[in-house]
Amino acid sequence: MISYADACRIINEHRGESAAVTTMTQSSYWNKVSEHPDLDMGISNGMSKASSVALGIALGDPERKVLCLDGDGSLLMNFGSLATVAGMAPKNFHHFVFNNGIYAITGGQPLPETGVHYADAAKACGYKATFKFDDLESFENSMAEIMAIDGPTLIELVVTPEPATEGVDQTWESNAKMPRQLRAMRKHLTGKDDWGPGGPFI
Amino acid sequence: MAEESITVVPVAREGEAIPIAVGLHVAGKRPVVSIQNAGLYEAGDALRGLAIGIGLPLVMFIGYRGHNRKGDTPDSAAVFLEPYLHMWRVEYFVVEGDEDLDRIPLAFDRATKTNMPVAVAIGTEYAPEDIE
């Protein structure tokens, strides 16, 4: 198994100017290593939809690589998105799936089925290339090659589960974070600072 | 129906449509969502967290399946649409015929001014001659 910290560190080393869309446990580890917060998007209030937001960014900004740091539970909930991604076939879309077998954020309940092979499923749906790693060394040695090939790619990482011991942070301030991040990323990608406040949090 | 200036992103379920629109908006595109009322119910959590929750200026064209001007329909997809939009406090306009088309630019204006999703419900009786 690979640790969240190692997985995020290695992805970050190969990130370049990629946009990164993260969710759940991946977000907290990613935020510790990322040096480009303006290109980061942590999806915290949209169950399972990180991969769909990432797809939208990839289609809207085809010259920039988009990395999605998804979870297995999230992908199971949004499984049809594999076909949606394959249908649009964005070359700049790289889908990392952190397979921990549990719903970590809600305390570690097991997934309905822990034997799903996400890399195989993505391949069957039409992703251009898929990979599965359960040891750090193989992943680390392959990452440069993976990032050099055209997407859509899916990279399944078997990670050590880290069930949350506390509830999700739901404050006015924590909920304002995602809307602010989205505006910052739009400003960074388009050069336009034209998305004003809206919604309950900002 | 082909309109070259529009890129269609077909989705496997409606819940994907709103977050894809979020990503497109972030990347500087001008997305709209085009789904049926039953699909809008399916997309409920995405509407909550990723449209209303972030203040997304988004026009959603919603097929008003089961709608008729008599107001008497056995289709629960039609019965619940307007109460559902009220529940989410989503502004909406109903388009039942050509005479209502000026409500569409109004919907775009409202979405931009309020930074919120706005719905345009397309009545099933509305079938312009040039669309088959």
B74 exposure class (CB count in 10 Å sphere: 0-12, 13-18, 19+): exposed
Terminal-residue alpha carbon distance, chain A: 40
User: In this complex, which of A57, A88, A197 lies closest to B115 when CB atoms are compared?
Assistant: A197
DSSP class of A128:
S
A20, A33 contact by CB (below 8 A) = no
| Chain B interface mutation, best of A22, A24, A53, A201, highest count of B Cβ atoms under 10 Å | A53
Residue B124 has pLDDT above 80, yes or no: no
Q: Which class would CATH give A4-190? A: alpha beta
B25-83 pLDDT tens trace? 999 999 999 999 999 999 999 999 999 999 999 999 999 999 988 888 899 999 999 99
B45, A47 contact by CB (below 8 A) = yes
Name the CATH topology of B14-23+30-123: Rossmann fold (3.40.50)
Residue B132 has pLDDT above 50, yes or no: no
Q: What is the model's pLDDT at position B125?
A: 64
Q: What is the model's pLDDT at position B126?
A: 63
Q: What is the model's pLDDT at position A166?
A: 85
B108 exposure class (CB count in 10 Å sphere: 0-12, 13-18, 19+): middle
- Region B83-95: mean pLDDT is 97
**The model's pTM:** 0.96
B127: confidence class by pLDDT, cuts 50, 70, 90: low
A19 strand-pairing partners: A66
Give all strands of the β-sheet with B32-36 in edge-to-edge order: B32-36, B59-64, B118-123, B91-95
Q: Give dist(CA B117, CA B112) in Å, integer.
A: 9
B128: confidence class by pLDDT, cuts 50, 70, 90: low
Query: Cα A82 vs. chain centroid, distance in angstroms?
Result: 13
Q: Give dist(CA A161, CA A104) in Å, integer.
A: 7
Q: Give dist(CA A73, CA A78) in Å, integer.
A: 9
Q: What is the model's pLDDT at position B71?
A: 80
Q: What is the model's pLDDT at position B2?
A: 64
3-state DSSP of A155-180: EEEEECCCCCCCCCCCCHHHHHHHHH
Residue B3 has pLDDT above 80, yes or no: no
Q: Give dist(CA B79, CA B64) in Å, integer.
A: 10
- The pLDDT tens digits along chain A (202 residues) read 999 999 999 999 999 999 999 999 999 999 999 999 999 999 998 999 999 999 999 999 999 999 999 999 999 999 999 999 999 999 999 999 999 999 999 999 999 999 999 999 999 999 999 999 999 999 999 999 999 999 999 999 999 999 998 877 889 999 999 999 999 999 999 999 999 999 999 9
A31, A159 contact by CB (below 8 A) = no
* Sequence spans of domains, chain B: 14-23+30-123
DSSP class of B51:
I
* Sequence spans of domains, chain A: 4-190
Q: Give dist(CA B63, CA B15) in Å, integer.
A: 15
Give this complex's ipTM: 0.97
User: In this complex, which of A58, A59, A81 lies closest to B12 when CB atoms are compared?
Assistant: A81
| Chain B interface mutation, best of A44, A48, A57, highest count of B Cβ atoms under 10 Å | A57
- Yes or no, beta carbons of B26 and A201 under 8 Å apart: no
> Half-sphere exposure (CA, 13 Å, Cβ side) for A38?
9
